[in-house]
Amino acid sequence: MSVSGKVEANELLRFAIGVVLGEHGWKLATQKKYRIVLAQDVQCRLLESGFEWQARIVGFWVNRCRRGDFDQNSCSSVRADLSPGERREVS
């Protein structure tokens, strides 16, 4: 199934980013690997249709998801390393 034009490619890009961010009904922590697989599928579809820029951007978001940038505990784990005084400065 190919992508018909730039408008559809950009819609797929927005959808893939939303999936990676846990939107569209996806749970962040429990379904991370499935969100990545779906986004990679969209990336392959974009590449096959010749939309390399959109596919590359999806790849950036997939890598950020793999790294854990969107995990629910990513912000709280950083704050746990701070002293109480530093936590007040951040808040």
Q: Tokens for 71?
A: 């995990």
Each as own residue / partner, the long-range contacts of residues 33-41 (CB below 8 Å, 24 or more positions apart, any chain) are 35/65, 36/62, 36/65, 36/66, 39/65
In the predicted model, what is the mean pLDDT of residues 49-53? 94
More confident residue, 79 or 61: 61
State the Cα–Cα distance between residues 81 and 50, nearest whole angstrom. 45
Residue 62 has pLDDT above 70, yes or no: yes
Q: Which two tokens stand for residue 2?
A: 């190919």
Q: Provide the whole-model pTM.
A: 0.72
